[in-house]
Amino acid sequence: MQSNRILDRKIDNKDFSRREFPMLEKNFEFLSKMANKETGIQLGEHKRDLVYSRIVRRIRVLKLKNFNQYCEYLVRNKDKELGDFVNAITTNLTSFFREKHHFDFLSDTVYPEIIAQKKSSKKIRAWSAGCSTGEEPYSLAISLDKTFGSKKEWDVKVLATDLDTNVLSFGREGIYTPERLDGLSRSITHNNFTKIPNPDGRGSVFSVSDHLRRYITFNQLNLLNEWPIKGKFDFIFCRNVVIYFNKETQQILFDRYANALKPNGYLFIGHSETLHGVTTRFESLGKTVYRKIS
Ligand SMILES: C[S@@+](CC[C@H](N)C(=O)[O-])C[C@H]1O[C@@H](n2cnc3c(N)ncnc32)[C@H](O)[C@@H]1O
């Protein structure tokens, strides 16, 4: 008897129209279509829970009663609400030196190649596309600084972009809790962060040092829109971003990355992503590292 009640509750829990803030089938369809059109992100059936929990926060803030009202609100106030809607549905999981082998490849292969080739124009341009809360571009800055920091004649810059304005503010601020620095060696932490009192009064936090900040420019950019970018990149990190896009959107995007890279430039993608069957403009060097070939 008791186990049936538990089962009933579980089934009810999947019936989103009976939750505290009812979400009807048509509401989910509307929101996933809007997400796809505005961001390229695909919110399939399995993302219902995610959509519910993320949008409920907006519903509470706006003091609405259900998803129907939220969809109507979004239509009527699109200019005002779209940014918060987009911020709510993005997934921003990241960490310092995520997929360490990419950073090893930079130090072992890419940097020596650049040093050998660029005898006159000592300039490096890197792009962290879908940079989330900044751990990826700061990891790039740490890695670049280790090789080029002492070579003052080098002009090194990292462009960090994301669609989500909340994560960009976080990245720009560059302040991380000790847990976020877990896994970084003592020397990396010591050389690149300053320990400061936590503004909320609890313990300490770590602020990115100025010598790293100067490498990075954070800008909002929707990868599906125009890219106001001048010049070409030596390498692009676009990791764990296209996983949420359909194949057609990925094809367009990777073609644009090939155009944005210098000849033989490198593209780094996420561990569960591939260019196989998506584009022929890159050759695979293994372990989700690609080189532009055309
Ligand atoms: C899971 S995070 C990956 C962060 C980092 N690249 C990494 O691998 O650790 C994905 C990021 O892509 C961003 N994103 C999703 N769709 C985007 C779009 N259309 N344009 C720009 N950024 C987008 C999200 O806001 C999110 O911060």
Which residue lies with its CA nearest to atom 10 of ligand 1?
Answer: 241
Q: What is the pLDDT of residue 119?
A: 81
Residue 73 CA, ligand 1 centroid: distance in Å: 26
Architecture of domain 2-89: Orthogonal Bundle (1.10)
Residue 92 CA, ligand 1 centroid: distance in Å: 6
Say if CB 143 and CB 106 are below 8 A apart.
Answer: yes
Say if CB 210 and CB 124 are below 8 A apart.
Answer: no
For residue 238, give the ligand 1 atom closest to its CA: 6
pLDDT exceeds cutoff 50 at 7: no
In 109-232, which ranges are E strands?
123-129, 155-162, 175-176, 193-197, 204-208, 216-220
pLDDT, one tens digit per residue, over 163-198 is 999 999 999 999 999 999 998 999 999 999 999 999
pLDDT, one tens digit per residue, over 230-246 is 899 999 999 999 998 99
pLDDT exceeds cutoff 60 at 63: yes
CA proximity to 75, closest of 46, 48, 21, 37:
37
| First-last CA distance in the chain | 66
pLDDT, one tens digit per residue, over 119-165 is 888 999 999 999 999 999 999 999 999 999 999 999 999 999 999 99
For residue 237, give the ligand 1 atom closest to its CA: 6
Q: What is the pLDDT of residue 120?
A: 82
The catalytic residue positions are 54, 162
Q: Which residues line ligand 1 (CB under 6 A)?
A: 39-41, 90-94, 98, 130, 132, 136, 162-164, 167, 222-224, 239-241, 270
Could you tell me which CATH class the domain 100-292 is placed in? alpha beta
Q: For the residues 18-33, what does the mean pLDDT come to? A: 94
Which residue lies with its CA nearest to atom 8 of ligand 1?
Answer: 239
Which residue lies with its CA nearest to atom 16 of ligand 1?
Answer: 39
Q: For the residues 272-286, what does the mean pLDDT come to? A: 96
CA proximity to 145, closest of 157, 132, 136, 131:
157
Residue 50 CA, ligand 1 centroid: distance in Å: 16
Residue 151 CA, ligand 1 centroid: distance in Å: 32
Q: What is the pLDDT of residue 202?
A: 86
CA proximity to 136, closest of 243, 247, 235:
235
pTM metric for this prediction? 0.93
pLDDT band at 83 (very low <50, low <70, confident <90, very high): very high
pLDDT, one tens digit per residue, over 195-236 is 999 988 889 999 999 999 999 999 999 999 999 998 999 999
CA proximity to 96, closest of 36, 17, 176:
176
Beta partners for 126?
Answer: 158, 235
Domains 2-89 and 100-292 share a fold: no
Q: For the residues 18-34, what does the mean pLDDT come to? A: 94
Q: What is the pLDDT of residue 13?
A: 60
pLDDT exceeds cutoff 70 at 22: yes
pLDDT exceeds cutoff 70 at 2: no
Which residue lies with its CA nearest to atom 19 of ligand 1?
Answer: 39
Q: What is the pLDDT of residue 136?
A: 98
Domain-by-domain residue ranges, the chain?
A: 2-89, 100-292
